Amino acid sequence: MQIRGVTTRSLAPFNMIQQHQQRCSDECFRIRLSRDSAMGSSRQDSSCSIDRKPEDPLSPKGDEKLVENEDDTEESEMRGFLGGNKVDGLMLRHVRRLMTPRASSSVRCSQISLEKMLLPLGFLAFATGFVVYGGISRNRHVFNTLAHFIKGGMFFWYGLLTLGRWMGAFTEFGWAWNIRPEYPLVARWKTRIPSAEFVECFIFWLYGATNVFLEHLNTWGKAWSPQDLEHLSITMLFFGGGLLGMLIESPWARELANTAVVLQKSKDEELAAEEPGQVWVKPDTYEISMNPMPGLVIMILGAMMSSHHQISIVSTMMHALWGRLFFVFACARAATYVLLYLKPPTSHFPARPPTELISAFCLTSGGLLFMLSSRDTVTAIESNGLDAMPIFIVTMGLTGVILAWEIVCFTIKGWALRKVRIAAGEPLA
């Protein structure tokens, strides 16, 4: 009998499988009704396993064994990540030893560190690609280009971090002009992080301490020129200004400076108790850091570079432009401290003083102009019939786009965090 190409002989294996499943279901139902649990379990193991394949009388037993061996081989190959080879076995033996909480935390810290380094590495790749594609910085000119690119890159990232602080980054450290959260709102190690001004002064001090030996590297073996002495003086300015700023930010230095007031209070405890309580209370301005040294150092740097002698008019104009931008940054930072002094922050939320937007813009654009004012770059600008003003205008437009994109990235991050919290069923506030 044949119906649409399906024969009785071809349907025989499926009929036998159906009959076997029916017998197993009837047997399992009867065993469940049995009161003897031990016997029921043994019979269930022996007769209620539907994984067993019924014997097909239509196929030889040798072919059936061959099919089973092929299935077992495929299953064994799928067990391992690499197909069950020697490398896979070696990984299975040793990777399990690394599955510990300490190893997991180390891997997580490594992942976070690499993620933080992606942007600086991308910036480094872009800057070096610009140099290679332009064919500049050959022979001894590489030192001049390195100096401008490293210093200008530092100010460029300084501006990006300033805008990030304004947006609310590093609020757990108190860097967003806010009140620092205390433990247990944040981790204990975050409460020990120094202020943002201390970090800025430390970077200035470190730059001055390391770069003081490199200012004469381009003319090594030759006599010191007045220009070399000027660069050395700038390095000493960063070294001394950074050291002074760190001492101002030191908590123990502030406490020791209040020794005279503490001794005056301890002379007569009764008289001190009769006076109003606010007399011996520390001012609210003690809760925040108002250190003018970073802004002052950059202001002096901008004033010097605005009138620094260069080899051409284009180079002099470019140095004067980014020097003035740094001067405006220092004025904006000083206005920020005035605002914070008049009304100190009282919340964990970022204060977002509007003057810091000007600071971020001036630092970012000034850093880019600093990078483009190297000797070979100025020569390339002059050889193409350009002057300083087109470069200045293009840099301003690029700065606006970069800072706008940074704000977009921060908003996307906030949106993503909210979606994750909502999906996890956790409250937002």
pLDDT of 175 above 50:
yes
According to DSSP, residue 82 is labeled T
For residues 162 and 363, is the Cβ–Cβ distance under 8 A?
yes
Beta carbons within 10 angstroms of residue 107's beta carbon? 11
For residues 305 and 326, is the Cβ–Cβ distance under 8 A?
yes
For residues 289 and 173, is the Cβ–Cβ distance under 8 A?
no
The residue that leads in pLDDT, 214 or 304, is 304
Indicate the residue type of 51: D
pLDDT of 82 above 50:
yes
DSSP string, 319-349: HHHHHHHHHHHHHHHHHHHHHHHHS---SSS
Beta carbons within 10 angstroms of residue 191's beta carbon? 16
- Binned at pLDDT 50, 70 and 90, residue 270 comes out as low
| 3-state secondary structure at position 307 | coil
pLDDT digits (tens, 9 = 90+) for 392-421: 999 999 999 999 999 999 999 999 999 998
Beta carbons within 10 angstroms of residue 355's beta carbon? 18
**What's the Cα-to-Cα distance from 160 to each of 15, 271, 333, rounded to whole Å?**
73, 52, 15
Residue located via tokens 């022979």: 139
Strands, DSSP E only, in 125-253? none
Cα torsion through 214, 216, 221, 224, rounded to 10: -150
Cα separation, 129 vs 172, in Å, equals 36
pLDDT of 373 above 50:
yes
For residues 360 and 289, is the Cβ–Cβ distance under 8 A?
no
Candidates 313, 308, 302; CA nearest to 367 is 302
Indicate the residue type of 96: R
Cα separation, 404 vs 415, in Å, equals 17
- Binned at pLDDT 50, 70 and 90, residue 203 comes out as very high
The residue that leads in pLDDT, 11 or 50, is 11
The pair of three-digit structure tokens given for residue 379, joined into one six-digit string: 């020569």
Mean pLDDT of the region 296-300: 95
pLDDT of 211 above 90:
no
For residues 388 and 314, is the Cβ–Cβ distance under 8 A?
yes
For residues 242 and 203, is the Cβ–Cβ distance under 8 A?
yes
Global pTM exceeds 0.85: no
For a pLDDT cut of 90, what percent of the chain falls above it?
44
Q: What number of helices (H) and strands (E) belong to the chain?
A: 16, 2
pLDDT of 182 above 60:
yes
Mean pLDDT of the region 198-217: 87
**What's the Cα-to-Cα distance from 187 to each of 36, 105, 175, 180, rounded to whole Å?**
59, 15, 16, 12
- Rg of the Cα trace of the chain? 37
pLDDT digits (tens, 9 = 90+) for 351-367: 999 999 999 999 999 99
Cα separation, 180 vs 200, in Å, equals 18
For residues 148 and 370, is the Cβ–Cβ distance under 8 A?
yes
pLDDT at res. 277:
62
Question: Strand 2-3 to strand 6-7: parallel, antiparallel, or no bridges (unpaired)?
Answer: antiparallel
**What's the Cα-to-Cα distance from 216 to each of 47, 79, 144, 285, rounded to whole Å?**
91, 64, 11, 43
pLDDT at res. 268:
65
Question: What is the average pLDDT score of the chain?
Answer: 81
| 3-state secondary structure at position 412 | helix
Cα separation, 394 vs 391, in Å, equals 5
